[in-house]
């Protein structure tokens, strides 16, 4: 049943997990239900954005162990917050309009990625490997600049910067939900329209071009969607490196279908399920005794290592 209809099973589990998240230990419905509903929507938005963007990135790169985090979004996010704290101070940073802060973060992350795509993905040069390597270099640069800024700011202010360096699923700013939902809906519509071209892209660059796909146009469209979704999810909760890798690995185990009409839906449901169920357990079951983002990074890191070893064994049978 799970192999035959994994998306329906995941949808059922997501509905059950959502009901558990909304009703677990509720004493005042008037207070708890609106608050939890907004947090539930935010978790679903983040899950959708991270899951689908990672799947598209792996489709584009033909590599199941890569994530959009390699393009340096998380490092740029930390740098932006560090610079804001340095020039504005903790008081003004904490009281800053959330929509203005959200717009600055998304605008800079999206602008950086589009500039990188524009100069490194031209008609003459369409090398994704070079693009990823440049993204890694920029990530190292941004982390180095963040460390420099951390030495310049007040040690007490550094706590605020340190908090922004990790994903915060417990304190999601619900004022940003409307904008985030609209962005995800628009990105979802664009992905759905490109789903059949993504299926062809899995055959490889040469085959896709021979079958009539405008490779450069499709690649730029997918990279722009990926950058937009990652920027929105990072600005909403903070950097999450391994969640996309984890949910894509689970999706690959649940289905052998390579059609994006099925895989995009399934990876979004799996990602939402992981966040909603995990947050329900940590927030209501364990009474905030643990942090979901730390567990996700730990499990995702282990999955990353297992995938690397698996790829190595497949390429060199002599290891076995």
Q: What angle do CA 116, 122, 127 make, to 5 degrees?
A: 80
Provide mean pLDDT across the span 275-294: 72
Domain assignment present for residue 298? The answer is: yes
**In degrees rounded to 5, what are phi and psi of residue 121?**
-125, 65
CATH of the domain at 227: 1.10.3470.10
Please, which residues bridge with residue 150 across strands?
A: none
Provide mean pLDDT across the span 104-125: 76
Share of the chain above pLDDT 70, in %: 89
Domain assignment present for residue 66? The answer is: yes
Q: What is the mean pLDDT of the chain?
A: 81
Identify the pLDDT of residue 320: 39
Domain assignment present for residue 19? The answer is: no
Residue scoring higher pLDDT (199 or 166)? 199
Element (H, E) at 199: helix 195-201
148-169: per-residue pLDDT in tens? 888 888 777 777 777 777 777 7
Domain assignment present for residue 30? The answer is: no
The lowest-confidence range among 53-62, 110-119, 269-278 is: 110-119
Tokens of 252: 């690959």
Identify the pLDDT of residue 15: 92
User: Domain tally for the chain?
Assistant: 1
Identify the pLDDT of residue 49: 93
pLDDT band at 314 (very low <50, low <70, confident <90, very high): low
Provide mean pLDDT across the span 220-239: 86
- State the residue range of the domain holding 135: 39-310
Domain assignment present for residue 285? The answer is: yes
Enumerate residues 6+ apart whose C-beta is below 8 A from 150. 82, 158, 161
Domain assignment present for residue 24? The answer is: no
Q: Which of 119-133, 251-265, 290-304, 306-320 has the highest mean pLDDT?
A: 251-265
pTM of the model: 0.86
CA 144/CA 233 separation, integer angstroms: 23
Identify the pLDDT of residue 319: 43
CA 277/CA 272 separation, integer angstroms: 8
SS3 for 126?
strand
Q: Whose CA is closest to 240, among 59, 15, 45, 12? A: 45
Residue scoring higher pLDDT (298 or 290)? 298
Domain assignment present for residue 267? The answer is: yes
Cβ atoms within 10 Å of 202's Cβ, excluding its own: 15
Identify the pLDDT of residue 8: 87
pLDDT beyond 70 at 181: yes
Domain assignment present for residue 9? The answer is: no
Element (H, E) at 310: helix 292-315
Longest dimension (CA), the chain: 63
Q: How far is CA 140 from the centre of its chain?
A: 19
């Amino acid at each position: 049943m799970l192999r035959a209809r994994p998306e329906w099973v995941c949808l059922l589990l997501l509905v059950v997990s959502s009901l558990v998240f909304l009703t677990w230990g509720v004493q005042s419905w008037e207070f708890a239900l609106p608050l939890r509903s907004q947090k539930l929507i935010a978790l679903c938005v983040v899950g959708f954005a991270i899951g689908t963007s990672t799947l598209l990135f792996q489709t584009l790169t033909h590599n199941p162990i890569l994530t959009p985090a390699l393009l340096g979004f998380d490092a740029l996010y930390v740098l932006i917050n560090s610079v804001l704290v340095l020039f504005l101070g903790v008081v003004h940073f904490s009281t800053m309009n959330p929509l203005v802060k959200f717009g600055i973060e998304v605008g800079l992350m999206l602008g950086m990625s589009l500039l990188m795509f524009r100069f490194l993905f031209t008609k003459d040069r369409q090398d994704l490997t070079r693009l990823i390597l440049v993204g890694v270099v920029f990530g190292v640069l941004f982390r180095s600049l963040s460390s420099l800024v951390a030495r310049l700011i007040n040690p007490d202010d550094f706590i605020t910067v340190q908090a922004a360096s990790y994903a915060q699923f417990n304190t999601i700013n619900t004022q940003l939900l409307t904008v985030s939902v609209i962005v995800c809906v628009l990105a979802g519509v664009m992905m759905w329209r490109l789903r059949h071209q993504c299926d062809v892209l899995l055959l490889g660059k040469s085959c896709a071009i021979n079958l009539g796909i405008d490779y450069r146009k499709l690649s730029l469209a997918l990279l722009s969607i990926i950058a937009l979704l990652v920027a929105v999810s990072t600005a909403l909760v903070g950097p999450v490196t391994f969640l996309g890798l984890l949910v894509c690995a689970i999706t690959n185990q649940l289905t052998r279908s390579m059609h994006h009409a099925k895989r995009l839906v399934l990876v979004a449901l799996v990602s939402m399920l992981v966040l909603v169920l995990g947050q329900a357990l940590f927030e209501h079951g364990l009474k905030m005794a643990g942090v979901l983002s730390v567990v996700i990074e730990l499990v995702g890191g282990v999955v990353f290592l297992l995938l690397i070893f698996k790829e190595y064994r497949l390429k060199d049978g002599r290891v076995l």
